[in-house]
Amino acid sequence: MADQEEDFSSLPLPDRFAHKNWKVRKQGYEDAAKTFETTPDESDPAFRPFILDSGLWKGAVADSNVAAQQDGINALCAFLKFGGQEACRRSRSVTITPIVEKGLASTRAATKQSALEALLLYIELDKSDPIIDDILPSLNNKQPKLIAATLSALTAIFHAYGVKVVDPKPVLKALPKVFGHADKNVRAEAQNLAVELYRWLREAMKTLFWNDLKPVQQQDLEKLFEAVKQEPAPKQERLLRSQQAVEAVASNAQEEGEAEADAEEEQPGEIDAFDLAEPVDVLSKVPANFQESMASSKWKDRKDALDALFAMVITKT
């Protein structure tokens, strides 16, 4: 009993994060979150130990005790929210995978929500590419529950930030495989993600994955897309920290009307299919005799050369 009542609050927070007693770790996570929330700015010394040793967060977000894990992810969210871009960049390489594997797939609803918030904060503070790159491998996991949770998180990410902030191409390429998954929950979440992407991309999204789907899968999606066609164009619901700074400046400007007009103009319209097309090195495929054929005195030689070139560069959508 004496050991259970021992007071560990005098230990430094990093030591409590690594303590063998889960109750000490849990209290350490709670105290860390409170500390971060009361810091005056990102340069506060409270952030330093956790920036210098980002491995502390790997253990926190994947804590073996589910109650402690929940507070560990909450502490990470506070660290990101108040620690800024450096906190984001220094920790993301060790946290995204355990957040997805241990957080999104948690049996606790609050832990799932905090895990998703952590992913959204990572994108908000810097950029989406490193985050998406670390999320996508979980779609190859053997556990259907984790794959479904990953797809749901991707849907939420695109819903919040849109396709201008988050590049949809890597995700679109991964869709056909999950559509063919044996688990119905995975397939359902794949449909939800496809519908969310259709809200932003419309018909242009089909250039990257549509032909890899079975006809029945295409038909099911077309039915779901019909409802989306009646909706207004979506708008980015969550701003990056850099966008927030621009908005703050604009709100303080005298020409508020002009600032609002500019903001509206930046809302994305329908994406062109060529925006999603993969780059192709056309010059390397031009026949060696192309110039000779074009210099021929016979019109048929010139026409044949141009027809061959056209057939090579045309993009079928």
d(CA 31, CA 165): 34
- Beta carbons within 10 angstroms of residue 51's beta carbon: 16
**Structure confidence by residue, pLDDT tens digits, 185-240:** 999 999 999 999 999 999 999 999 999 999 999 999 999 999 999 999 999 999 99
Question: According to the model, what pLDDT value does residue 225 have?
Answer: 97
**Structure confidence by residue, pLDDT tens digits, 126-173:** 999 999 999 999 999 999 999 999 999 999 999 999 999 999 999 999
Q: Which amino acid does the sequence have at 24? A: V
The model's pTM: 0.83
d(CA 140, CA 101): 12
Question: According to the model, what pLDDT value does residue 281 have?
Answer: 66
| Distance spanning both ends of the chain, measured CA to CA | 71
SS (H, E, C) the chain: CCCCCCCCCCCCHHHHHCCCCHHHHHHHHHHHHHHHHCCCCCCCHHHHHHHHCCHHHHHHHCCCCHHHHHHHHHHHHHHHHHHHHHHHHHHHHHHHHHHHHHHHCCCCHHHHHHHHHHHHHHHHHCCCHHHHHHHHHHHHCCCHHHHHHHHHHHHHHHHHHHHHHCCCHHHHHHHHHHHCCCCHHHHHHHHHHHHHHHHHHHHHHHHHHHHHCCHHHHHHHHHHHHHHHCCCCCCCCCCCHHHHHHHHHHHHCCCHHHHHHHHHHCCCCCCCHHHCCCCCCCHHHCCCCHHHHHCCCCHHHHHHHHHHHHHHHCCCC
Query: Can you read off the two tokens belonging to residue 248?
Result: 């703050």
Q: Which amino acid does the sequence have at 192? A: N
73-77, 107-111, 293-297, 311-315: lowest mean pLDDT where? 311-315
d(CA 79, CA 95): 13
